[in-house]
Amino acid sequence: MIKKKISNVYNSIVTFENIYNAWNIVRKTCKNKKEIYRFNLNKNTNIYNIYNSLLNKTYKPMPFKLFLIYEPKERLVMSQSISELLLEKIRVEDMPINYLLII
């Protein structure tokens, strides 16, 4: 297998449209409806802030949210924020196949 260098992959993945499309996927699949509702109140501003921080390469991951569930037994659950879920969808959905094979 011949490895190829793919240039400008970052700029082709980080677009406002890709983040918005990832939002449409996340809002349908996320179980935390309160957080979806809060993010949706200022949806365009939130997406634009994520987009700008990715373009400027100043994005910092948010910490996990920790909470306990007591059914059927006590367990600690770690949950990602909406912005982290968006980035995960962007990374998986929009990566070129050749790039994934190189990694």
Cis peptide before 72 (omega within 30 of 0): yes
Q: Which residue has the higher pLDDT, 8 or 72?
A: 72
Q: What is the pLDDT of residues 11-28, one digit of tens each?
A: 778 889 989 999 999 999
Strands 65-69 and 75-79: antiparallel
Give pLDDT tens digits for 36-91: 999 999 999 999 999 999 989 899 988 999 999 998 899 999 999 999 999 888 87
pLDDT band at 97 (very low <50, low <70, confident <90, very high): low
- The residues spanned by each domain of the chain are 9-102
Single pTM value for the model: 0.74
